[in-house]
C-alpha cells in the first residue's frame, strides 16, 4: 500500500474544520512535497516529522512522498497537523496498518525526539470534530483534560509518537484523560469587600444591568480597580454556547487553567498600559493568538490608568469595540476572533496621580484637561457611564462589612433588569439597553414624556451635552428603571442618568 489518509482539524478563527491528511509514496528520487495551502509552520513540520519518525525507531521511507492537506482552500495554521502527517506517512509506506485510526481525529505537534507536544486550540478542534460526527479523538497528553470537556467524544491521549505506533500496530493502551473535574476554583472577589463608594457601586450595577461601558475617574485609593475587578461577579454566568466560545478562545491562546472545565464566569482581562497592539487585539505567527480584547469576550476588559496607554493601542481597540469582533490580517486570508466585551476605563484626574486638592499636586488645569483628553474621541465617546469617584473616607473604610451588599444580591437585581430589557427589545433584535440605537429611544413608543426629559433637553440646547450624550442618557435611564422594576423611566431616572453620564450632581 502506498497511499493512506488520517483526519485532523484546522482552525479558522474559533471555527474548526475537518482536514484530511493524505500521504502518497511513489518511486522516484527521495523527497517530501507538501501541498494544500500550508503556512511556514507546515514546511517546518516536514523536518520535525522526519526527525520524530526516525528517533522513534521507525524506518523513514526513501521514496518520493507527497503529502496533501484537504480541503486545499482552507487556510491552515499551526503545528497540530504533525502527528496526523506522521501517521499518514507511516501508513502509506506500509509500516502501519491504519485501520485503528479510521474515523479518528489525530492532533499534536511532534518534537524532534518523537515526543508529542501540547498545541493551542485543542478544545475548539475537538468541538468541531464532534460536530462533524467524529466520535474518537487522539490528542497530546497535555491537552487531554480540555479535550475531555467536549461531550460525546471519546478522548485518548499520547505522549510520544512511539505510543501511537504501538497502539495502532499492537493495540497497546493509550493514555486516559484525567478523571472528573478539578475542584472548583475559589470564588472571585466580592462586592462585599468594597468599603464606601456608593456612587461607584451604583455605577457598576447600572453598567452591568444595561451592558454599558464604564469610565471610573478618581484619585488613587478611590477603589477604581477594586470596583472593576468585581464587575464579573455581578454579571450573569455564561450559558453553554457562550462558555464554549470563551473557553475556545482561551484554548487558542494557550491560557486555559489546568483541570479541564468550561469557563462559566465572565472573563476579566486587565492588560498593562505598556501592552503592545498585538497583545491587545491579537496576532503573531502561525495560529494567531487572541488578544486581551478577545480573551475578554463576553466579559470585562479593564484599562487601568487608561490615559497612559499609547495612542496606537487605544486606536486599535476602536474597531473591535465597535463591531464586537477583531479582524487580523494574515498572509493567507484573515482571521477573525469575537470580541464582545464590556469596557471599564480607570483614570486619575491628573498626570501626577496625587489626590485631588493635595498640596503637592502642581498640575495646571490645562495639564489635567490634556491628560484626560487623551481618552476622548475613540474611546470616551463610546462610554455610557462616566463617574468621578471621591477618595474613600476613613469612616467608610472602618464601617462593618456586615451591612454591605454582596455580589450575589446585586447579581440578582442585574439579572432581573437584563431580563426586562431583553424582553422589551426582543422585537428589535437587541438584548441590552446599551445596544439600542438612539433613534429608537427618541420616537414612539419609547419616547419619554416631555416633562420627564426637560433637564436633558435643556443641556442639549445649552451645548453641555452632545446629541450622542443625549442618547446615552436615555439608555441609562431605561437601565435605571429596569433595575427598579418599573416599565418606563421617570423624571428622577433621567436625572440620575445625567449624573452617571456626566459625573455632575444635579
Contacts with Zn ion by CB under 5 A lie at 350, 352, 361, 363
Are 248 and 11 spatial neighbours (Cβ–Cβ below 8 Å)?
A: no
Q: How far apart are CA 47 and CA 70, in angstroms?
A: 20
Q: How far is the CB of 199 from Zn ion (least distance, A)?
A: 22
Cell of 150: 467536549
For Zn ion, give the closer residue by CB, 12 or 352: 352
Q: How far is the CB of 222 from Zn ion (least distance, A)?
A: 15
Q: How far is the CB of 147 from Zn ion (least distance, A)?
A: 53
What DSSP state is assigned to residue 485?
T
Number of other residues whose CB lies within 10 A of the CB of residue 412: 11
For Zn ion, give the closer residue by CB, 148 or 375: 375
Q: How far is the CB of 351 from Zn ion (least distance, A)?
A: 6
Q: How far is the CB of 350 from Zn ion (least distance, A)?
A: 3
For Zn ion, give the closer residue by CB, 328 or 350: 350
CA neighbours closer than 13 Å in the CB half-sphere of residue 197: 29
For Zn ion, give the closer residue by CB, 360 or 461: 360
For Zn ion, give the closer residue by CB, 116 or 350: 350
CA angle in degrees (0–180, nearest 5) for 103-104-110: 145
Strands (E) located in 135-223:
136-140, 154-158, 214-217
For Zn ion, give the closer residue by CB, 288 or 346: 346
Are 368 and 327 spatial neighbours (Cβ–Cβ below 8 Å)?
A: no
Checking phi first, is residue 223 left (phi over 0); if not, alpha (psi -120 to 50) or beta? Answer: left
Cell of 151: 461531550
Q: How far is the CB of 367 from Zn ion (least distance, A)?
A: 7
Q: Which of 295, 298, 6 is nearest to 165 (CA)?
A: 6
Q: Peptide bond before 353: cis, by omega within 30 degrees of 0?
A: no
Are 106 and 99 spatial neighbours (Cβ–Cβ below 8 Å)?
A: no
Q: How far is the CB of 397 from Zn ion (least distance, A)?
A: 23
Checking phi first, is residue 27 left (phi over 0); if not, alpha (psi -120 to 50) or beta? Answer: beta
Q: How far is the CB of 352 from Zn ion (least distance, A)?
A: 3
Are 493 and 449 spatial neighbours (Cβ–Cβ below 8 Å)?
A: no
Q: How far is the CB of 347 from Zn ion (least distance, A)?
A: 12
For Zn ion, give the closer residue by CB, 127 or 217: 217
Are 313 and 277 spatial neighbours (Cβ–Cβ below 8 Å)?
A: yes
Q: What is the DSSP string of 262-286?
A: ---SPPEE---TT--HHHHHEE-SS
Are 368 and 481 spatial neighbours (Cβ–Cβ below 8 Å)?
A: no
**Phi, psi dihedrals of residue 11, rounded to the nearest 5°:** -105, 135
Q: How far is the CB of 281 from Zn ion (least distance, A)?
A: 31
Are 178 and 144 spatial neighbours (Cβ–Cβ below 8 Å)?
A: yes
For Zn ion, give the closer residue by CB, 369 or 468: 369
Core vs surface per residue 7-45: b (16+ CB within 10 A) or e:
bbbbbbbbebbbbebbbbbeeeeeebebebbbbebbeeb
**What are the helix (H) ranges across 362-444?**
365-373, 394-398, 407-425, 438-442
For Zn ion, give the closer residue by CB, 326 or 350: 350
For Zn ion, give the closer residue by CB, 151 or 357: 357
Q: How far apart are CA 149 and CA 125, in angstroms?
A: 12
For Zn ion, give the closer residue by CB, 184 or 357: 357
Q: How far is the CB of 353 from Zn ion (least distance, A)?
A: 7
DSSP strand pairing (214-217 vs 385-388)? parallel
For Zn ion, give the closer residue by CB, 18 or 361: 361
**Rg (Cα) of the chain, in Å, rounded?**
28
Q: How far apart are CA 277 and CA 391, in angstroms?
A: 32
Q: How far is the CB of 375 from Zn ion (least distance, A)?
A: 17
Cell of 279: 497583545
DSSP strand pairing (300-303 vs 268-269)? parallel
Q: How far is the CB of 234 from Zn ion (least distance, A)?
A: 32
For Zn ion, give the closer residue by CB, 37 or 352: 352
Amino acid at each position: 500500500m502506498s497511499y493512506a489518509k488520517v483526519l485532523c482539524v484546522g482552525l479558522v478563527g474559533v471555527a474548526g474544520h475537518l482536514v484530511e491528511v493524505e500521504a502518497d509514496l511513489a518511486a522516484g528520487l527521495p523527497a517530501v512535497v507538501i501541498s494544500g495551502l500550508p503556512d511556514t509552520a507546515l514546511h517546518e513540520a516536514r523536518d520535525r516529522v522526519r526527525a520524530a519518525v526516525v528517533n522513534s525507531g521507525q524506518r523513514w521511507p526513501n521514496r518520493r512522498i507527497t503529502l496533501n492537506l484537504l480541503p486545499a482552500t482552507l487556510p491552515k495554521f499551526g503545528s497540530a497537523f504533525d502527528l496526523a502527517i506522521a501517521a499518514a506517512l507511516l501508513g502509506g509506506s506500509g509500516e502501519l496498518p491504519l485501520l485503528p485510526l479510521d474515523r479518528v481525529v489525530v492532533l499534536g505537534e511532534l518534537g524532534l525526539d518523537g515526543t508529542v507536544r501540547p498545541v493551542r486550540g485543542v478544545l475548539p478542534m475537538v468541538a468541531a470534530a464532534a460536530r462533524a460526527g467524529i466520535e474518537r479523538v487522539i490528542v497530546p497528553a497535555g491537552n487531554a483534560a480540555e479535550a475531555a470537556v467536549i461531550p460525546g467524544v471519546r478522548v485518548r491521549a499520547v505522549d510520544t509518537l512511539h505510543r501511537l505506533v504501538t497502539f495502532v500496530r499492537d493495540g497497546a493502551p493509550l493514555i486516559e484523560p484525567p478523571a472528573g473535574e478539578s475542584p472548583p476554583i475559589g470564588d472571585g472577589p466580592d462586592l462585599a469587600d468594597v468599603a464606601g463608594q456608593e456612587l461607584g457601586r451604583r455605577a457598576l450595577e447600572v453598567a452591568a444591568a444595561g451592558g454599558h461601558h464604564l469610565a471610573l475617574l478618581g484619585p488613587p485609593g478611590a477603589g477604581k480597580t477594586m470596583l472593576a475587578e468585581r464587575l464579573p461577579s455581578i454579571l450573569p454566568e455564561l450559558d453553554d454556547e457562550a462558555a464554549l466560545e470563551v473557553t475556545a478562545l482561551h484554548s487558542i491562546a494557550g491560557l486555559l487553567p489546568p483541570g479541564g472545565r468550561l469557563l462559566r464566569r465572565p472573563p476579566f482581562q486587565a492588560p498593562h498600559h505598556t501592552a503592545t497592539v498585538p497583545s491587545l487585539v491579537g496576532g503573531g505567527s502561525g495560529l494567531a493568538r487572541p488578544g486581551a480584547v478577545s480573551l475578554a469576550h463576553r466579559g470585562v476588559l479593564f484599562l487601568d490608568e487608561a490615559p497612559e496607554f499609547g495612542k496606537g493601542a487605544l486606536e486599535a481597540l476602536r474597531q473591535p469595540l465597535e463591531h464586537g469582533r477583531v479582524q487580523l490580517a494574515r498572509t493567507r486570508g484573515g482571521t477573525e476572533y469575537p470580541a464582545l466585551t464590556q469596557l471599564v476605563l480607570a483614570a486619575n484626574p491628573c498626570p501626577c496621580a496625587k489626590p485631588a486638592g493635595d498640596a503637592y499636586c502642581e498640575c495646571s488645569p490645562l495639564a489635567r484637561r490634556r491628560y484626560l483628553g487623551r481618552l476622548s474621541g475613540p474611546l470616551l465617546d463610546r462610554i455610557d457611564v462616566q463617574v468621578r469617584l471621591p477618595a474613600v473616607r476613613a469612616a467608610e473604610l472602618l464601617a462593618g462589612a456586615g451591612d454591605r451588599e454582596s455580589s450575589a444580591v446585586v447579581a440578582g437585581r442585574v439579572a432581573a433588569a437584563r431580563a426586562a430589557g431583553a424582553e422589551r427589545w426582543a422585537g428589535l433584535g437587541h438584548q441590552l439597553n446599551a445596544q439600542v440605537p438612539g433613534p429608537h429611544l427618541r420616537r414612539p413608543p419609547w419616547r419619554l414624556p416631555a416633562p420627564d426629559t426637560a433637564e436633558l433637553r435643556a443641556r442639549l440646547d445649552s451645548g453641555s451635552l452632545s446629541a450622542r450624550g443625549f442618547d446615552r442618557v436615555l439608555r441609562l435611564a431605561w437601565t435605571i428603571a429596569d433595575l427598579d422594576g418599573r416599565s418606563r423611566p421617570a423624571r428622577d431616572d433621567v436625572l440620575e442618568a445625567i449624573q452617571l453620564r456626566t459625573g455632575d450632581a444635579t
